[in-house]
Structure 1
């Protein structure tokens, strides 16, 4: 395993319990933890029914599934086969627990999304949320997604928006140029031994890598930061800049 993958795996193993506790912080006793599907009616950036009208009876894989929320939520929508893949064993423990809470059929596998131990042409739909910014060789990784999708398979990819990532939101200034791409090390918590290794890219870099891997991009969406969907701007103490820039960039692509 390369250095950056090992560092990210260690970070997610260390961070997993704290991260999932934050994710589930608003869960009321006796209620199920949240498990939103990217294909639900309130999916980020809105569903795209002209591209995919339903995941019912589809074979689906979540790439970098973390705590399995999208996998479980998509199983709830009636997907035929659901597989989640993640590099962190600690995250997968949370994913399997969430699956059992919801009593759905989903399989969770430890693995590298850049070298999937999955057969060719085995899925109709794939998705990934805030994962591929941690992948060094993007072209190779996208070709691997294309390999496991059937013809006309759908890939929904979301990563932190490069503009958002180049800003200091609190100070409302650019920390670096939007065009300053490459490796970046992020300290999540000083108590953790490992840091997050990310690779900054422009939106054009992401789009062109998808095209080069054999995808046709049907939609490109730029939703605001997810925190803005949970708050009213007029009485929110969120940094004002969060309301002015996209929080993520989201691609709906088709494997040709």
Structure 2
């Protein structure tokens, strides 16, 4: 497991500049890069039918923050204290730059989400976007998320949908095994020595792991929207079938 974590960290340190360029590709000259919050009422992928009343004054942590988009976006909504944690030094460099672009107050620290460098019961809100599928021990990561949240705290966990990950777009059939949890190695681009190591848990596996960690899941959403490329199939060059299966799954859970 330690080898998988090292491989993923090395990959993200190598790939970070290219990935963030892709994320910011549609940013017009003179505009700020996108910084969506998982608590936006109009976020990509579908509006939460039961949004939180207010983010103002909340203490928030983003787990696997990458380039810090969720942290910065939540700070803009009025969170009082914002912390982003990621294992990649280069991703954190981008996160700090994004924070400075927006002029918000956020702290970014290097760390492992299975062993967070944070105190118990420190936050009201937490989220993770497309990060926990890279973690070999999801149970330990969820236990850490629960540890740093206060009772009643809200955790929004978003992951690539395992059905989407198993689909072969050209043949419109399952190329992978939905029930195979991995590890699965992905070559992200030519020129990188490292590969991305993923663990494709079923939706039921993640739901039950959240409950076992001490969370009550009170909302689950499946959606097809690509937050980077846009949400109009007619303007996309993605194969049609990829608009017919959920791209991501999002859980909203409360710490009990």
TM-score (norm 2): 0.95
2:150 aligns to what? 150
Q: Write the distance in 1 (CA, Å) between the matches of 2:231 and 2:34.
A: 18
2:16 aligns to what? 16
CA contact (8 A) 1:228 1:243 kept: no
Shift of 1:139: 1.0
1:240 aligns to what? 240
Q: Write the distance in 1 (CA, Å) between the matches of 2:228 and 2:75.
A: 27
Shift of 1:185: 0.7
Shift of 1:170: 3.3
CA contact (8 A) 2:151 2:255 kept: yes
1:124 aligns to what? 124
- The 5 A counterparts of 1:181-192 are 181-192=181-192
Does the C-alpha gap of structure 1 residues 228 and 113 become closer, same or farther in structure 2, counting only changes over 3 Å? closer
Q: Write the distance in 1 (CA, Å) between the matches of 2:47 and 2:153.
A: 16
2:96 aligns to what? 96
Q: Write the distance in 2 (CA, Å) between the matches of 1:46 and 1:81.
A: 26
Q: Write the distance in 2 (CA, Å) between the matches of 1:7 and 1:228.
A: 25
Unaligned runs of 5+ in 2: none
Q: Write the distance in 2 (CA, Å) between the matches of 1:19 and 1:43.
A: 21
Per-residue deviation, residues 7-40 of structure 1 (Å, max 9, x unmatched)? 0000000000000011111111111111111111
1:81 aligns to what? 81
Q: Write the distance in 2 (CA, Å) between the matches of 1:33 and 1:229.
A: 14
2:163 aligns to what? 163
Q: Write the distance in 1 (CA, Å) between the matches of 2:228 and 2:197.
A: 26
- Alpha carbon RMSD of aligned pairs, Å? 1.6
1:133 aligns to what? 133
Q: Which moved more, 1:90-99 or 1:47-56?
A: 47-56
Does the C-alpha gap of structure 1 residues 229 and 53 become closer, same or farther in structure 2, counting only changes over 3 Å? farther
Q: Write the distance in 2 (CA, Å) between the matches of 1:178 and 1:145.
A: 26
Q: Write the distance in 2 (CA, Å) between the matches of 1:222 and 1:135.
A: 21
CA contact (8 A) 2:86 2:113 kept: yes
Per-residue deviation, residues 206-248 of structure 1 (Å, max 9, x unmatched)? 0000000000000010011416982533454320111110000
Does the C-alpha gap of structure 1 residues 27 and 204 become closer, same or farther in structure 2, counting only changes over 3 Å? same
1:37 aligns to what? 37
Q: Write the distance in 1 (CA, Å) between the matches of 2:32 and 2:45.
A: 24
- Matched position secondary structure for 1:156: strand
2:3 aligns to what? 3
Q: Write the distance in 2 (CA, Å) between the matches of 1:77 and 1:227.
A: 19
Q: Which moved more, 1:174-183 or 1:43-52?
A: 43-52
Does the C-alpha gap of structure 1 residues 8 and 209 become closer, same or farther in structure 2, counting only changes over 3 Å? same
Does the C-alpha gap of structure 1 residues 255 and 231 become closer, same or farther in structure 2, counting only changes over 3 Å? closer
Q: Write the distance in 1 (CA, Å) between the matches of 2:167 and 2:225.
A: 13
1:68 aligns to what? 68
